[in-house]
Amino acid sequence: MTAPNSSPQTDWHLKDSQAILSQFNVDPQQGLDTATIEKNRAKYGPNKLDEHQLKSPWLILWEQFTEVMVIVLIVAALISLALGEYKDVIAIMTIVILNAALGFFQEYRAERAMAALQELANPTVRVRRKGKLMDVESWELVPGDIILVEAGSKIPADSRLVEAVNLRAQEASLTGESEPVNKTDDTLTGEHLPVADRSNMIYLGTAVTYGRGTAVVVETGMSTELGRIAELIQNVETDQTPLQKRMDELGRKLAVIALGIVGVVFVVGFIGQEADIQELFLTAIAMAVAAIPEGLPAVVTIALALGAQRMLKREALVRKLPAVETLGSVTVICSDKTGTLTQNQMTVRMLDVVGDTINLSQLKDDGHPAIHKGDKPLDLDKPSQALLLVGGALCNDATLTDDEDSNHTLVTIGDPTEGALLVAAAQFGYWKDDLDQQFPRVAEVPFSSERKRMTTVHKVDQETIAQLEPALASLYEGYSGQYPYAIFTKGAVDGLLDICNRVWADGQVEEMNAEWRQRIEEANRKTAEQGLRVLGLAMRITQELPENNNENEFEQRLVFVGLASMIDPPRPEVKEAVQTCRHAGIRPVMITGDHPLTALAIAHELNITDTDDILTGRELSQMSTQELEDAVETVSVYARVSPEHKLNIVQALQSKGHIVAMTGDGVNDAPALRKSDIGVAMGITGTDVSKEAANMVILDDNFATIVRAVKEGRTIYDNVRKFMKYTMSSNAGEIYVMLFGPFIGLGLPLSAIQILWINLVTDGLPGLALAVEPSESNTMDRPPHPPDESIFARGMGRHILWVGLLMGAVCLLIGRWGLNNNFSDEYWKTLVFTTLTLSQMGHALAVRSGRDSLFTQGLLSNRPLLGAVALTFILQMGVLYVPIMADFFDTLPLQLPHLLLCLIASTVVFWAVEIEKWLIRNGHLNG
């Protein structure tokens, strides 16, 4: 009998792992070969869940016609049709169609940009293929692939475990169980085991929280459990951002105001009996359309989406769109040290066994030693040094591989700290591969950033024992000739000393006493002060393995062996990025698991702090919330912290009103990443879990990238403000012309179609071009804007008010001048119409910067805008001089002097805004 929901292919947990391996014809040490991968890909398809449907272009197009304003226009067109006003119908429908085309273009681009980001957010997977370890994108996996997972990995496909070492997985997304469950590589029995109990399987969509494992992929894509329940994992979220929400709200408010104004125009026009009712009705509708900046939400979306795309080119992948805008408000960036501020290119520089140091830099000082398999080993003077190197290589999960591309230099894969130890050991002739064969690993306690150490247990063969006998005898009090297991622990020296009760003093085991402790701590301190990372190694020989594979059983009564110190130079570009932060009113903060003195040395070098103020994890644990809140205002370096301290620091900073960006890479960093305003995960070293919790992933792990992203965030916010400034002043100008026209004897100076035209050509392309304006010269020389700052703050409300009035006044004056010169109504209205359109172009150019003159910015620095302005000018000329268009828009061809007059008049706004910027630059106005 088959259990419901359990077709033959879902019974993988009941099969023996060897049987599954032979079913897929794969050797776990080799992995699949290219031919099989291709064959399986053809058979099973790519490892992808059915895509979240992108909005279809038709849907986007349809939505353009369902916006309120467009519906109003369509109704107006229908009314005109009923009244037989065909010219109006064609005009309005042309405007509707052009407007829709523009809206479609904007939204389609934004949608594509987001889709491209989504694709990139796919995690990579470590697989063994063709006998080598490599990272591939998860869609590339095929059934039969051998994958390696560790704490923080997201499971890329349903797989049967072949090896599980202390493995635990969080399967809430599949089973609802929030506690991590233990995993094994045993074969299970029992027909009806639910997914939650299939402990030898790991499933797509779940994540490893602890330990490591090797597994063979058995189901991919839609055949996985997750695929079967058709749940979708969205990688990039596209919630509305705060700014988008505010824009929507503003749009609604403006709509109400606009309706009021339209009412007034209608009444004024009616009383003045300026036009017939029908014309008045159309004009009122056109004004409503003009007054509402309907392009605003679209521009915010496109500015954010294109900004996210630009950030990607600079190695910052935005996972959640609101992050783009929050970035602009960041006041503190809390950064890990290793790999983010430093290069994470560790090289062992010093070995220290009981006060005897070997300086490796004297032996090889070419930066990162290039080693090859056949190199002649360097000599050591002491067996204890050999023990340190051997222990460091055994208690180690990194691997050395031959890089065919770079002259067979050996490169390390895995944690750089561990890689450095492997390289150091290999330099002296101790190769990890050989050591692993000679001393097979039988148990381990993985590294965690809370414990700051790891332990491995190895079988020791009789031959080695015979060779080492004199030394081993002194290592083990109850020596009886049988020493089957060696336990090695490596990690932070401070914690390690607490679990050592002896020291290996050159073949002699001595009690760990205060004097020894002091000597070791002193050596640790001296090295850390130079900015080196120090790792201690301790060991013990035992005859039997404890029953429980738990850390307390192994990590006790150890014999301290020595210290290995490694250099990890700061990234060269970080110093400047730190400086940029300071100018920009952002405080950089270092949070590291490393030793306080190592942390301080690097922090000083990078100018993160100029004091010796530092807080350690231990001190943080003892502080009250209030004390911590006070401390975070001044302390910029935190050392020996655990992930949970990061959460406390974020909370304390936030309660002090800071907007915090926080980096993280480990599985336990996820809560702090979520809590921070901008969680930043590391693209290279980060675990999948941390990436999923983050708002942004920096692909190069580089602090400087975060700073660049902040700059981009600020630029985007600026650009949205520029667009608002531009479009709202322009709309105000149109309204003033219509509102005040009747009072100076001009009636309603613009026709409905003219208003719609101005609105289309001005809001459309020039507005879009403002969204791609490059950063201003002072973007990173001013403090961050508070996130709750009114969008009209910093002089924007003022700008909209006076520019609108000025624009209106110039146009009305021109109109009045035309009337005084007895020009025909159509002719002077053409003057007003042309001046208004061209004034907006001048304004678009002037508003490109909030403070710099256009002449220092350079006309060519925003070519799309220049193109949009030129195009608008040409179109306007078409409206004046192409008879069929002129007929349509009720214009007359202007004589050259009058056209020139319009041109000159329309520069008034441009010059006035240039003066405003001059006043701002010189501190006479805020802005």
Active site residues: 336
Query: Is the CB of 492 or the CB of 752 nearer to ligand ATP?
Result: 492
Name the residue nearer to ligand ATP (CB basis): 338 or 651: 338
Please count the CA atoms within 13 angstroms of the CA of 105 that sit on its side-chain side.
Answer: 10
Q: Is 925 helix (H, G, I), strand (E, B) or coil?
A: coil
- What residues form DSSP beta bridges with 134? 127
Q: What is the DSSP string of 487-551?
A: EEEEE-HHHHHHTEEEEEETTEEEE--HHHHHHHHHHHHHHHHTT-EEEEEEEEEESS--SS--H
- Bridge partners, 740 (sequence order): none
Q: Which stretch binds ligand ATP (CB under 6 A): 294-302, 337-345, 739-747, 850-858?
A: 337-345
Q: How far is CA 460 from each of CA 163, 467, 539, rounded to the nearest angstrom? A: 22, 11, 13
Output the six-digit token pair for 783: 């403090």
Using the rule CB under 6 A, give the single segment among 156-164, 210-218, 487-495, 628-636 that binds ligand ATP: 487-495
CA distance 756 to 34: 62
| Comparison of 580 and 642: residue with beta carbon closer to ligand ATP | 642
Closest CA to 891 of 815, 832, 822, 807: 832
Nearer to ligand ATP, 491 or 741 (CB): 491
Between 336 and 688, CB nearer to ligand ATP = 336
Please identify which residue in 23, 173, 240, 449 interacts with ligand ATP, judged by CB under 6 A.
449
Confirm or reject binding of residue 763 to ligand ATP (CB under 6 A). Answer: no
Find how far residue 406's CA is from the centre of its chain: 32
Q: How far is the CB of 438 from ligand ATP (least distance, A)?
A: 21
* Out of 76, 258, 387, 454, the residue judged to bind ligand ATP by CB under 6 A: 454
Closest approach, Cβ 673 to ligand ATP, in A, equals 13
Q: Judge residue 515's burial from the number of C-beta atoms within 10 Å of its C-beta, 0-12 exposed, 13-18 middle, 19 or more buried.
A: exposed
The contact pattern for ligand ATP, residues 220-249, with x = CB under 6 A and - = no contact, is: ------------------------------
CB 205 within 8 A of CB 195: no
* CB atoms inside a 10 Å sphere around CB 59: 12
Using CA atoms, how far apart are residues 212 and 436, in angstroms rounded to an integer? 17
Of the pair 595, 714, the CB lying nearest ligand ATP is at 595
| Rounded Cα–Cα distance for residues 356 and 523 (Å) | 10
Least distance to ligand ATP, CB of residue 261, Å: 57
CB 693 within 8 A of CB 662: no
The yes or no reply on residue 212 touching ligand ATP (CB under 6 A) is: no
Instruction: Kindly indicate which of the ranges 199-207, 307-315, 410-418, 797-805 contains the residues binding ligand ATP, using the contact rule CB under 6 A.
Output: 410-418
CB 79 within 8 A of CB 114: no
Binding flag, residue 490, ligand ATP (CB under 6 A) = yes
Work out the angle at residue 9's Cα, subtended by the Cα atoms of residues 6 and 12, and round it to the nearest 5 degrees. 90
Q: How far is CA 352 from CA 516, 535, 605, in A?
A: 14, 10, 25
Q: Please count the residues of this chain forming the interface with ligand ATP, following the rule CB under 6 A.
A: 21
> Could you tell me which stretch among 227-235, 426-434, 484-492, 793-801 binds ligand ATP (CB under 6 A)?
484-492
The yes or no reply on residue 417 touching ligand ATP (CB under 6 A) is: yes
Q: Are 456 and 558 in contact (CB under 8 A)?
A: no
CB of 687 to ligand ATP, least distance (A): 12
Alpha helices in 741-788 (DSSP H): 752-763, 765-770
Residues 510-569 that bind ligand ATP (CB under 6 A): 533, 535
Among candidates 527, 646, 541, 526, which has minimal Cα distance to 590? Answer: 646
| Choices 319-327, 445-453, 759-767, 867-875 (CB under 6 A): range interacting with ligand ATP | 445-453
Q: How far is the CB of 397 from ligand ATP (least distance, A)?
A: 7
Collapse the DSSP code of 127 into the 3-class scheme (helix H, G, I; strand E, B; otherwise coil) and give the result. Answer: strand
Q: Please, which of residues 345-374 interact with ligand ATP by CB under 6 A?
A: none
The binder of ligand ATP chosen from 168, 337, 645, 917 (CB under 6 A)? 337
- Identified binder of ligand ATP from the candidate list 111, 158, 219, 418, rule CB under 6 A: 418
Is there binding between residue 427 and ligand ATP (CB under 6 A)?
no
CB atoms within 10 A of CB 239: 10
Give the nearer residue to ligand ATP in terms of CB position, either 265 or 599. 599
Distance of closest approach, residue 592 Cβ to ligand ATP, in angstroms: 3
**Interface region with ligand ATP, contact rule CB under 6 A, candidates 206-214, 446-454, 622-630, 693-701:** 446-454
Q: Which of 24, 139, 447, 638 binds ligand ATP (CB under 6 A)?
A: 447
Least distance from ligand ATP to the Cβ atom of residue 538, Å? 11
Please state the separation of Cα 927 from the chain's center in Å: 30
Between residues 490 and 540, which has the closer beta carbon with respect to ligand ATP?
A: 490
Q: Measured at CB, which residue is nearest to ligand ATP? A: 593
Binding piece for ligand ATP, criterion CB under 6 A, among 205-213, 247-255, 451-459, 479-487: 451-459
Q: Which CB sits closer to ligand ATP, 308 or 615?
A: 615
CA distances 323 to 37, 208, 618, 688, Å, are 39, 27, 32, 19
Least Cβ distance, residue 209 to ligand ATP (angstroms): 16
d(CA 422, CA 432): 7
Pairing, β 500-505 against β 533-542: unpaired
Strand partners, 31: none
Q: Which stretch binds ligand ATP (CB under 6 A): 231-239, 447-455, 707-715, 735-743?
A: 447-455
Tokens of 247: 């824009």
Which is nearer to ligand ATP, 166 or 338 (by Cβ)?
A: 338
Closest contact distance (angstroms) between CB of 455 and ligand ATP is: 9
* Near ligand ATP by CB under 6 A: residue from 64, 338, 687, 759: 338
636: which 2 tokens? 């910029």
According to DSSP, residue 698 is labeled: E
Which H helix or E strand runs over 359?
Answer: strand 356-359
Going by their DSSP bridges, the two strands 132-137 and 124-129 should be labelled as antiparallel
Q: Kindly state whether residue 492 participates in binding ligand ATP, applying the rule CB under 6 A.
A: yes
Q: 338 or 876, CB closer to ligand ATP? A: 338
Q: With binding defined as CB under 6 A, does residue 452 bind ligand ATP? A: yes
Q: From CA 334, how far away is CA 650, in angstroms rounded?
A: 8
Please identify, using beta-carbon distances, which residue of 221 and 666 lies nearer to ligand ATP. Answer: 666
Least Å from the CB of residue 641 to ligand ATP: 7
To ligand ATP, the closest distance from the beta carbon of 370 in angstroms equals 23
Binding mask 570-609 for ligand ATP (x = CB under 6 A): ----------------------xxxx--------------
**Residues that bind ligand ATP in the complex, under the rule CB under 6 A:** 336-339, 415, 417-418, 447, 449, 452-454, 490-492, 533, 535, 592-595
